[in-house]
Amino acid sequence: MKITIGEIARQANVSKGTVSRVINGKSTVAEHTRKNVLAVMKRLGYAPDPVARELSMRTKHTLGIWVGAGENRLSPYFSRIWRALLREMQLRATQFVELPEDITGVRTRFDAVLIFHSDEVDARLALLQERGIPPVLIGHHPGISCVAPDDVGGGRLAGLSLLSLGHRNLLHLTVAAEATWAKDRANGFKAAFAGAAGAGLTYAEARGEASVLGGYRLMRDAWKAGHRPTGVFCATDEMAVGALGALADLGVAVPAQVSVVGFDGLVELHPGLASVAQDIPAIAHQAVSLALAAIGKDAVRKTIVPVSLIQGTTLGPAPK
């Protein structure tokens, strides 16, 4: 029997119009509703007719993707979100072009531009404004449409997970750059234990490169300087992998002596890594949805995508 959108709507307890909007990737559907409809479609084995779907969704819009000059394109995180963005635009039958660092000589007309984690946001926004091109940022910035993971909530989640396991000597390894996402994760982490400051809690912060080597150096140097944390929160999973390497070289057992929690959800980088996971497909979906909405002159919107904790084997109770 052929599965219809009417049957999907009945089982998902939504209207047929809502199912149609989910299939066509519209941004006007709440995230929990979208996931519910997709789950019903998967359970019923429903697959939209790709030809009909592309014809219904085909647009003449062209999106530019503008990557920051300092972005590490070889990083696992960048690779994952880049693939998710390209897949999302392909699903929407939307044309896309990667922009060079300097677009002053680019004459191609773009209907909207996705800016990815750029440190030069203000300068880039000024250039786009001159050309009348609406921007969407994967990150945070006032006055424009943005999408980002819940960095504050994720930092708090990491802190609460360590506190709940009895950890009171805490170390945060973060980046030296003044990045908003790093500040938010640090603020969320500190907010988790703000009320426990008088309960023998100690906290230290070390700053360095957002890489495996950066995490290794920060963890090694902190330990050699006399810090003895039982719980370590790293601003990225790559830094967490480096910290784990340093602890192994120092002869420190994980998690028997020290627990380590990362951020991003790239647990394939290290078997058993505990991490605050971003929903990267949802971020990509929202980014493209915001760009298409901006083309339609919709109001500026800021979307925060929820995160979750992956309970890996690098997270355990504080030592007695």
Asked if residues 43 and 80 have their Cβ atoms less than 8 Å apart, the reply is no
Pairing verdict, β 308-310 and 274-277: antiparallel
Mapped onto helix, strand or coil, the DSSP state of residue 59 is coil
User: Burial of 239 by CB count in 10 Å (0-12 exposed, 13-18 middle, 19+ buried)?
Assistant: buried
Q: How much of the chain exceeds pLDDT 90, in percent?
A: 51
- C-beta separation of 115 from 138 below 8 A: yes
- Does residue 73 contact residue 67 with C-beta atoms inside 8 Å? yes
pLDDT score, position 166: 94
What is the three-class DSSP state of 116? strand
Looking at residue 151, what is its pLDDT? 97
Indicate the pTM of the whole model: 0.78
Check: CB of residue 230 under 8 Å from CB of residue 169. Answer: yes
In whole angstroms, give the CA distance from residue 64 to residue 312. Answer: 37
Band the pLDDT of 184: cuts 50, 70, 90: very high
Confidence of residue 48 (pLDDT cuts 50, 70, 90): low
**CA proximity to 236, closest of 269, 203, 204, 258:** 269
- The position carrying tokens 């309970």 is 311
Q: What does the block give as tokens for 212? A: 């495996």
In this structure, which amino acid lies at residue 284? A
13: left (phi over 0), alpha (psi -120 to 50) or beta: left
Rounded mean pLDDT, 83-111: 81
User: How would residue 242 be classed by pLDDT, with cut points 50, 70 and 90?
Assistant: very high
Among residues 147, 156, 219, the alpha carbon closest in space to that of 185 is found at 156
Residue 3's pLDDT band, with cuts at 50, 70 and 90, is confident
Tokens of 213: 């080597």
Question: Residues 14-47: pLDDT tens digits?
Answer: 888 888 878 776 667 888 888 888 888 888 888 7
pLDDT of amino acid 52: 46
Measured torsion, CA atoms of residues 242, 247, 251, 255, in degrees rounded to the nearest 10: -120
Between strands 95-99 and 62-67, the pairing is: parallel
Question: Is the peptide bond between 255 and the residue preceding it cis, with omega within 30 degrees of 0?
Answer: yes
190-228 pLDDT per residue, tens: 999 886 655 678 999 999 999 999 999 999 999 999 999
